[in-house]
Structure 1
Amino acid sequence: MGPPRRNSSHQQEYKLRMKHTEGNYPLYAISFNFIDSRYYNVFATVGTNRVTIYRGLPDGNLALLQAYNDEDKDEEFFTLSWAADLVGSPLLVAAGNNGIIQVINCGTGKLLKTLVGHGGSIYEIRTHPRNPSLIISASKDESVRLWNVHTGICILIFAGLAGHQNAVLSVDFHPYDMHHIASCGMDNTIKIWSMKEFWPYVEKSFTWADLPSKFPTKYVQLPLMSAVVHSHFVDCTRWLGDFILSKGVDNEIVLWQPKINGENPIELSIINVLQKYPVPNSDILFVKFSCDFHFSHLAIGNREGKIYVWEVQASPPVLVAELSNRQCKEIIRHTAMSFDGSMILACSQDGSIYRWDK
């Protein structure tokens, strides 16, 4: 595969506005709040046992709004996601090494509840695009779980003989079909699952009055399909409409079309690869990409501190910017693109946040 293609008509200029060092520890995740339009410029980071919330200011600076430290000093958070309670108040959900999901009320800055059930570290949490009280979590214990953060109930567990056979590293809700999720992990596979036949249990979780532990949690044992798209571990997957973007530790992101094989979901499915986005020097675990709200662009870092910005829906794909700065030489673990794509944030192995503005 040749070098990334550039197109001068699509080129975009980004300027490094600031570097903010949060602490002497790796930052694993960074995320804007797309759930509430009042807080589109608010974002959060996680590293060690700390969750930190900032606002991106118009002058290029960052304002520290809130910080939460877990009681367990040995906890190390790997992932976070914005969620909301039933009246729309913002929540921040974080998890990591301990396998316990912390639900933080952003209004009070206090811990609202903990969700316990996974038998290993949690590597990613995502929030349902239509119902922000529902989240999914991907774990080292080879399972994906669906939770209701309002009631604290674990509704569904996606696992079994046809499930993942190693740690699950990434998971995502379909943006339009509220029943479908995708997951991927260290067994090199990407799986698509359906919640459709279990949806009455999802609805029941909102009105459950007994203890969460007494809820009839169901196992989803058969995925709709499994596919091998990458030659190695797959650590990030996102839906792009009905297509899927996935990133392996093989220096590329792949856009592909799943083909659901309804007759035998245990067999590997044939897939249709649409295009590839080369990402040099991204051949390490836990380097994740992000997109703006409308999925027009994606941004991903690499182990040399560079950031590649792709126009996702151009065909063939177009590299619109390659961001680098002599201050930034450490691994970029995660990026966050603002709602309109005008701001790109990157969190680094050295505990720094980099802000680039268009």
Structure 2
Amino acid sequence: MGSGSWGREGAYRAVNAVKCGAGNNKVWGVSFNQLDYGYRNWAAAVAGNLIIVLDVLEDTQIAVLDIYRDDDKDEEFFCVCWASNEDGEPLVCAAGANGVIRVVNVLSGDVYKTLVGHGGSVNDLRVHPRNRFWLLSGAKDESVRMWNLKSGVMIAIFGGDEGHRGDVLSVDFHVKLPEHDPQTGEELPVRPIIVSCGMDKTVRIWQFPEHLLPRVHEAQDWHLSPSKFKTINVKYTVSKERTLHTEFVDCVRWVGNLVMSKAGNGDEETARQERSTLPPNKILLWDPLELEEADTLGSRPREDSESKNPFDSAEIKRKTNVISEYEIPRSHHWFNKFSTDFCQRLVACGNDYGEVFVYDIHAYPPCRVAKCYNQSREAQSQCRQVALSYDGSTILSCHDNGQIWRWDKNER
């Protein structure tokens, strides 16, 4: 498929920037609200102990709607995402160095929930697009955890025998179309499928055994103390990929049934000193274990819960198929995360010098449709994350110098 109307290197231009907070706080994360079309122009960013809520206006302006300051002045938020409460009001979830997840109601400014359980800094947060009370977190304690935002319950911990052997840096939910009972026509419960990656240079896919699904949905209506809920321990992965990347895998996302992942150099000093000789970072789009096979395996309960892995590698023999590679020039550092638009037509990622590169995911061979760069010296700072708007017409990039830059698609 061709690149269509996006096939131009000058497709975006820098139109505005905002400074987040005082001092030299790095802006580690930025996210558009892609969950609620009515709030699609709202974005959130995190810097130091601040959560900054932005309105990305149509006239190239960026308005600061609100700033939440955490009570702990030493907190440093690393990640941010959007959710909504039972009344449909927008929530912002943020977490970082302290391992505590703050969930803030954007309209009231109040803390909606505080989620405690991780034993180390939290590096990524993701909400399920169809089940918006489901929150995923990945952390330094080598675990992935799933929460219910409505009840505050920690539903499950993914880790243990087949878990990560290093910090978890990124997580994501797989999204399937609704399935219905062939006899009653009722919509069947969603069975979470999760992908995670981290400092152990692996990408892992997890799935709930089918017999535990009622517990997942029981958490939604839990009225007792969250501490009284018996958290599910998921020790085994459906699939583990350890050959694609040779550095820290710092970002992973589902694109349909495919996985998109990226790695960065784990040695920051080496990355700084040897930029001219190190190969640039790449985003890979690849085909993991067939999800139909994962469904079949995941439905079998374990016979020996302590020693037998139902997803033993002898049962699953496959070769990872890399479909596309998207090179990010002059990019070597880790903790530099990419983003897609809502329909997953485009993927964007920044580099060490504040530039942003955009690719058409549907094009083959891979087609770079934009290189976003700014002549302003203050804009040439390490990018940590980018966020694409709902329709891909605007990009926000956040940087080590405390700035967020806005890039708008050029009109023809």
Cα deviations by residue, 1:140-189 (Å, 9 ceiling, x for unpaired): 00000000011110000000111111100000001227421100000000
Mapped partners of 1:269, 1:126: distance in 2: 28
Mapped partners of 2:68, 2:351: distance in 1: 28
Cα deviations by residue, 1:22-68 (Å, 9 ceiling, x for unpaired): 23310011111111111100001001000000101111011111110
| Larger CA deviation: 202-211 vs 151-160 | 202-211
1:1-358 matches, cutoff 5 A: 10-11=7-8, 13-23=11-21, 24-176=24-176, 178=190, 179-197=192-210, 198-228=212-242, 229-249=244-264, 251-259=281-289, 262=297, 264-265=311-312, 270-327=319-376, 328-358=379-409
* TM-fit CA distance, 1:7: 9.9
* TM-fit CA distance, 1:266: 5.2
**Corresponding residue pairs, total:** 353
Larger radius of gyration: 2
Mapped partners of 2:215, 2:4: distance in 1: 49
Structure 1 residue identity aligned to 2:138: A
Mapped partners of 1:303, 1:265: distance in 2: 40
**Partners of 1:225 and 1:265 within 8 A in 2:** no
* TM-fit CA distance, 1:258: 0.3
Mapped partners of 2:231, 2:152: distance in 1: 12
Mapped partners of 1:207, 1:196: distance in 2: 21
SS at match of 2:214: helix
Structure 1 residue identity aligned to 2:261: S
Cα deviations by residue, 1:2-31 (Å, 9 ceiling, x for unpaired): xxxx99971152121112222331001111
Q: Which residue of 1 aligns with 2:271?
A: none
SS at match of 1:99: coil
Mapped partners of 1:165, 1:227: distance in 2: 13
Mapped partners of 2:311, 2:171: distance in 1: 22
**Partners of 2:168 and 2:197 within 8 A in 1:** yes
Mapped partners of 2:404, 2:156: distance in 1: 35
* TM-fit CA distance, 1:85: 1.4
**Partners of 1:295 and 1:312 within 8 A in 2:** yes
* TM-fit CA distance, 1:264: 4.1
Q: Which residue of 2 aligns with 1:3?
A: none
Structure 2: runs of 5+ lacking an equivalent? 178-189, 265-279, 298-309
SS at match of 1:182: strand
Q: Which residue of 1 aligns with 2:305?
A: none
Equivalent pairs: percent with the same residue? 42
Structure 1: runs of 5+ lacking an equivalent? 1-5
Structure 2 residue identity aligned to 1:355: R
Quickly say closer, same or farther: Cα 1:165–1:104, change in 2 above 3 A.
same
> TM-score, normalised on structure 2?
0.83
Mapped partners of 1:175, 1:259: distance in 2: 16
SS at match of 2:215: helix
SS at match of 1:209: coil
* TM-fit CA distance, 1:195: 2.1
SS at match of 2:141: coil
Higher strand share: 1
Mapped partners of 2:318, 2:70: distance in 1: 42
**Partners of 1:245 and 1:254 within 8 A in 2:** yes
* TM-fit CA distance, 1:270: 2.9
| Larger CA deviation: 54-63 vs 175-184 | 175-184
Mapped partners of 1:254, 1:233: distance in 2: 14
Mapped partners of 2:220, 2:254: distance in 1: 26
**Partners of 1:289 and 1:301 within 8 A in 2:** yes
